[in-house]
Structure 1
Amino acid sequence: MNSISVKELNTTTEIMEAYPIMKQLRTHLDEQTYKSLVIDAMKYDHYKLMALLELGKIVGVIGFKPMITLYYGKFVWICDLVVDDDKRSMGYGEKLLTYVHQWAKENKYKTIALSSGIQRDAAHRFYENIMNYEKVSYVFKSSF
Structure 2
Amino acid sequence: MGEIRQLNEPHEFREAFPVMRQLRTHLTEDLFAELVGEMQEEGYTLFALVDEGEIRAAAGIAVLTNLYYGKHVWVYDLVTDNKARSKGFGYEMLAFLESFAAQNGCSCVALSSNFERVDAHRFYEDKAGYDRVSYVFKKNL
Q: Tell me the TM-score normalised to structure 1 length.
A: 0.95
Q: Deviations over 1:55-103 (max 9, x none)?
A: 1211110110000111111111000001110101111100001111111
Deviation at 1:30, TM superposition (A): 0.8
**Cα separation, 2, equivalents of 1:15 and 1:143:** 27
Moved over 2 A (4+): none
SS at match of 1:141: coil
CA distance in structure 2 between the aligned counterparts of 1:109 and 1:118, rounded to whole angstroms: 27
- Does residue 76 (structure 1) correspond to residue 73 (structure 2)? The answer is yes
- The one-letter code sitting in structure 2 at the alignment partner of 1:5 is E
Displacement of 1:105 in angstroms is: 0.8
**Matching residue's letter, 2:12:** E
TM-score by length of 2: 0.97
Partner of 2:38: 40
Corresponding position of 2:24: 26
Which structure 1 segments of 5+ residues have no match? none
Give the paired residue count.
141
Distance 1:108 1:74 in 2: 7
RMSD value, Cα: 0.8
Q: Distance in 2 between matches of 1:48 and 1:56?
A: 21
**Conserved in 1, the CA contact under 8 Å of 2:69 and 2:107?**
no
Letter in 1 for 2:13: I
Once residues 115 and 143 of structure 1 are traced to their aligned partners in structure 2, the CA distance between those partners, rounded to angstroms, is 17
Unaligned runs of 5+ in 2: none
Matched AA of 2:59: I
